[in-house]
Structure 1
């Protein structure tokens, strides 16, 4: 089990039944391709040590979690509070505190990816990943958010995503259940309808959000 798979298992483990198992097995909303509508960051404060092929903590750790569904946010908070923390890969991370950040973005907004943003299209047996300089990157991010909006009963809207200071070093290749996934870190300027901007912050940008991809946090206008 990889770090990412272990963190995802810990997230689901913090959600009490029947919500946790239902989210894992079925999703909650969406036709044909059910949506989970939650997203989370990497565990911030962990440093990868190549020679040990593992991670080392440097002080307190931080995990961001968000969902477009209030019941999921509340259940996750209550779950980790009741357990006193999260168990990731057999290591218990003790809870020190919980904080709620207000989300009321105004266009344009600058965000930072705290988990890689993955954007792709499947053609037959091929999976084509797109980088932030490709026109498809912004278009597919907009389409993804509009699918989430539709599932929530919201109107479709427009979104434009512009990378700030693009560099190839921001590319991440991460393995999830035997499959390699390409994603991108970095900062981005988002411009568009307010409800899509909010959805980007509470449900993630791009695909595979419930697997720990696409969490972004507002860092300025």
Structure 2
């Protein structure tokens, strides 16, 4: 059974973060989880075939100020991080860990916990409009070459649908097909972000998803596209 909520974490901090701060957020989240769950997810995750599935996803830190002169982010006051997982034990572990630690450290910057909300996942029927709070990365790797796809390429929707179905299969849920249509997405929504020395292409913006309700809820809990546990593909239902 899929969890009925995601986490909305509010932190307070004063300092600076590098543009690659998502690596630090990922490391901090692993450290929040109890042993051996954190180690299991870090080393492999929930496996389906030979490809690892960690089945959690997180947003960008919302509320940062970008400093173009130093190519860094300033943290000045409160910031928000959304965290979701299709695994109840991961959500519960994150709650216990962040309460126990009173926050988390990202690249040496202490972020003190100011609030934690269990935000309900909405009931959905056959359609859902979502907004990306972290870039959606969609790609294939063939012959050692990685090809990323944009939202207007048919492979974008196809690979998102296949990925959601594979996640469902790993959880013992029925798969299916999900149609993905960009809503007002423009070239300016493209993001190139560096993760552990590799450039990753992703897309922000709004999208309309149509498909089985279970897969639509799974999109909100485990993310769209690939590299979800690295901070890509977090989506939230779009405001009206």
| TM surpasses 0.5 | yes
The match for 1:67 is 85
Secondary structure (helix, strand or coil) at the match of 2:118 reads: coil
Shift of 1:108: 1.4
> Which one of 123, 137, 146 corresponds to residue 127 of structure 1?
146
Equivalent-residue separation in structure 1 for 2:227 and 2:124 (angstroms): 23
> Which one of 89, 105, 113 corresponds to residue 95 of structure 1?
113
TM-score (norm 1): 0.97
- Higher strand proportion, which one? 2
Equivalent-residue separation in structure 1 for 2:33 and 2:66 (angstroms): 27
Moved over 3 A (4+): none
The match for 1:140 is 159
In structure 2, list runs of 5 or more residues that go unmatched: 1-17
Equivalent-residue separation in structure 2 for 1:6 and 1:99 (angstroms): 22
In structure 1, list runs of 5 or more residues that go unmatched: none
The match for 1:161 is 180
Secondary structure (helix, strand or coil) at the match of 2:214 reads: helix
The match for 1:170 is 189
Per-residue CA distance 1:135-157 (angstroms, 9 max, x = gap) = 11001000000000110011111
The count of corresponding residues between Structure 1 and Structure 2 is 221
Query: Is it true that 1:181 corresponds to 2:200 in the alignment?
Result: yes
Tell me the C-alpha RMSD between the 2 structures. Answer: 1.2
> Which one of 27, 31, 55 corresponds to residue 73 of structure 2?
55
Equivalent-residue separation in structure 2 for 1:17 and 1:135 (angstroms): 41
Shift of 1:58: 4.7
Query: Is it true that 1:80 corresponds to 2:124 in the alignment?
Result: no
